[in-house]
Every structure is written in structure tokens, then in C-alpha cells.
Amino acid sequence: MRAVKQFLSKIREINLRYAKPQVEMSRAVSFSLAVLRIYLFLLVVLMIYKFITVIKVI
Amino acid sequence: MDFFSVLYYRVKKVWKAVRLYLVIAGPGLVVMIADNDAGGITTYAATGAKYGYHLIWFLLLLIPVAYYVQEMTVRLGAVTKRGHAEAIFESFGAFWGWFSLLDLMIVDWLTLVTEFVGMTAALSIFGVPAWLTVVLVVLLMSIIVLNGRYWTWEKIALGFCLLNLIYIPAAFMVNPSMADIAAQGLIPNLPGGLNNELFFLLMANIGTTIAPWMLFFQQSSVVDKGLQEKDIKMGKIDTFIGSIITVAIAIFIVIVTGTLLHGAPIDDAATAARLLMKTNHYVGAFMAIGLFDAGLLGAICISLASSWAFGEIFGWAHSLNTKVKEAPWFYISFFFTLATAGVVPLIPGAPLVIITLFVQVVAVTLLPAALVFLILLLNDKKTMGEYANTPLQNIVSTIIVVAIIILSTLYGVSALFPNMFN
């Protein structure tokens, strides 16, 4: 239990340490990150679709 | 007299450069040769068996691709003194950081399983039971990693890299026709036209050349070795030589299977080794030894890539220059990853095909993100200063990265939906 608490507090500490991105958020950077989010979202949707179709077959 | 003075001066200068290279050489060579891991050997063996020498030209194209991507990690590591995971956390925040770290952990573990599958299959050809292979590999890697010095680890890893050259004598032993190699292999062509099968194999070859763990590994390795800005030039030469060697090894494998197994259905490198043994015992044995070595090199680097990344983020001591007492979590995470992945091939009926499929799919989620972060980080002039990407480097690396993202996405999607592109 203590180990879990320590682990969670470490995660919180890391989140706090890296809360603010250090890279200069130029238009190019913001655009790249937005495209990356959309790309990953579509990929996750595809994976969920595949998972559901496999489950249906089983 | 003047001639001899000039000659002496030039030889001395070259020898000094060679000695400096030998000191700095390592991360680039190891990462590139380890890139020809068990999965890579299978891909090249299948490429040769299916299309003979016809795709050698395509493999040659992968030299600049591998070089341009990996040399960016050398600059980034030498300038920032941070591993790739830490660089992502710091520059893009915790969300992208956790995404990359967890994705890396999953894809590394799954890839590690495929390395163990390759190693156990390779040694089973010599009658070694799978459990013994796993135990021997874990013991061997403990000896390599626990010596407490990065330098020693690197030299041992370079020794295993040398063993990877075993495919070169194997290729000469099969007496390939040089005229056929030049005529069929060096002129760009798509045998049978661009069909689904050829496209899948081309994408698999790209997928084995650039893997997410390579970015994390080389950058962390550069940091752990302590390379400075002044070493970047030699680090880039190291990476370039490594990219040539890795493609050369791939070509020699293609020549072996293209000469002796052309037309045979090859699903994995171990099957290729078994079939080769029937034709030429030594060539088959070389293929099996090379497969084991490739899996071992892959396992050494992949498990380290994860441990370095975790150490960077969790603030644990995470250097091969530290003893177990000084960096317990670094070594615990290393052996935990290794041991759990090693157990999987020993489980009867383990879903190894699904694991291989998952490696491809999960890698597709991580690779584009890692590559985009790499280019953005290399354009951060505040951090990179004079080592930031030049406009020409940006054009070349962006073209390469966009091409890799498109092709690896198609590869991952075709792995999920095999009939999509029919």
C-alpha cells in the first residue's frame, strides 16, 4: 500500500515537473501536434473497430 | 625529403582521426546493426526467397533513410545531454511524455518477445531446448550489463555486431552470380508490378529499418557514453558507417536466400535456416547462428532503451557506469523486462502470431509521434543553437519522415485489416 502511494506521488511529481512544455509553441509546432492528435485518434478508432469486429466473430 | 614529410604528416593526421573515431564509435554501429534483429532477418530472408535479387536496389535506398533519422538523435543527445524520453517530457509536456513512454514500454516488450522467439527457434536447430536458450541469454546479458562500465558493455556489444557479419561468408559460399545480382538487383524494378504482396514486403523492410526503440536507444546511448558537441562529427560518421553495414548485411541475407531458396515459402528465418541446411549445411548453420546473434543484439538494445527511458523520467540513476547498488531500479527494470519477455515463448500455445501483429500495430502509434518530436526538437534553436536542423536538413528529414509515416501507417493498417488493399 505504501509502495503504491509512493509510486502515485512520484507520478504526480513528474506531472508537475513537466506540466509546462518548454518548446516554443510556434504555428508549426502547434499544427504538428494537432495533426498528431488527429492521426492517433483515427488510429485508436480503427483499433477499437477491429477489436469489436473480432469480438463479434468470437 | 619534402614528399616524405608531407606523407608522414598526412598519415599521422589520418591515424589520429581513426583513433578518435575508434574512441567515439559505438552507439551508431550498435544501434544500426542491432536494427537487423530477429524480425529483420526474417524480413530479409523472406524478401530474397520471394523476389530473388530484385529488391536489392530498394535496400540500398534505406541507407540514407536510416542515416538521416538516426544522426538527429546523435546531435540531440550530444547537445542536450538528455535521452529522447526526457526530451519529449520536457519539451512537449507530461501528456506526450507519458504517451511516448508507455507506448515505448509496450512496443519494446512485445519486440523483445519476438527476439526471444527468434533466438529459441535458432538454437532449436542445434537441438538446444527453448528453456535453456532463455536461461543462457538472461545469464549472458547479466554478465554483459552488470560489469558496471558503459565502455565494456559497448565493446562486448560490438563483438556481437561482428558476429552479425557471418552472413557475408555465407553469401560467398552459395556462389551467387555477380552478373545476375548487378542486372536484377541494382536496376530499380518492381518484380510482377506493384501488388499487395510486394507492397507489404517493401513496407516490412522499411519497418525493420526504422523502429521507435532505435531513436530512444541511440540518444540515451550517446548521453551515457558522454559524447559532447565536439564529438558530433565522429558520431555522425559512426552512424553513417553503421547504416551502410546494416544494409550490407541485409543484402547478403537476400543474396543467400535469393540464390538457394528462390521461390520457397519462407515465413520465418529459422525455417530458412532449416531449408538451407538441406542444401548446404554450413550456410544453414551460419543463418541460424546469425539469427540467434541478431535476436541477442536486439534484446540487449531494446531492454536497455526501456530502462534508460524510465530512469530518465523517474529520476533513477540510469547509467551502465553505475553498479547495481547505485542504480537498483535501472537494473531491476532491465531484468524484469527481459525475464517476462523471455518466459512468453516458453508458454505452450502462447499467441505468438498475435504478438507479432501487435508489434507492428503498436509501433505505428509510436513511430510517427517519435519522428515528429525529433524534427521539432531539432528545430528548437533555443536548445540546439548551431546544431539545429538547417533548411536542407529539414527538407530531407521531413520528406523521409512523412514517407515513413505514410508507409508504416499503411503497414500497420494492412496488418489489422489484411484484405483492405486487395
Could you tell me if B383 and B80 are in contact, meaning their C-beta atoms sit under 8 angstroms apart? yes
Higher local confidence (pLDDT), B392 or B262: B392
Residues B122-156: tens digit of each pLDDT: 898 888 898 999 999 988 888 888 876 778 877 88
- CA dist., res. A26 & res. A32, Å (int): 10
Look up the ipTM and state it.
0.86
For residue A22, give Cα distances in angstroms to B79, B92, B93, B257, B299: 16, 7, 8, 50, 33
Total-model pTM: 0.85
Among B94, B369, B377, beta carbon nearest to A18 = B94
pLDDT at B60 over 90: yes
CB contacts of B369 in chain A (<8 Å) are: 36, 40
CA distance B83 to chain A (A): 15
- Which grid coordinates are listed for B377? 526538437
Among A14, A22, A50, beta carbon nearest to B416 = A50
Task: Return the domain boundaries, chain B.
Answer: 34-416
B34-416, what's its fold? Amino acid/polyamine transporter I (1.20.1740)
Task: Return the domain boundaries, chain A.
Answer: 2-57
DSSP code for B189: -
User: Would an 8 Å CB–CB cutoff place A5 in contact with chain B?
Assistant: no
Average pLDDT of the segment spanning B76-81: 90
Kindly determine whether residue B380 and residue A10, on different chains, have CB atoms separated by under 8 Å.
no
Residues B299-342: tens digit of each pLDDT: 888 888 888 888 888 878 777 777 878 888 888 888 888 888 88
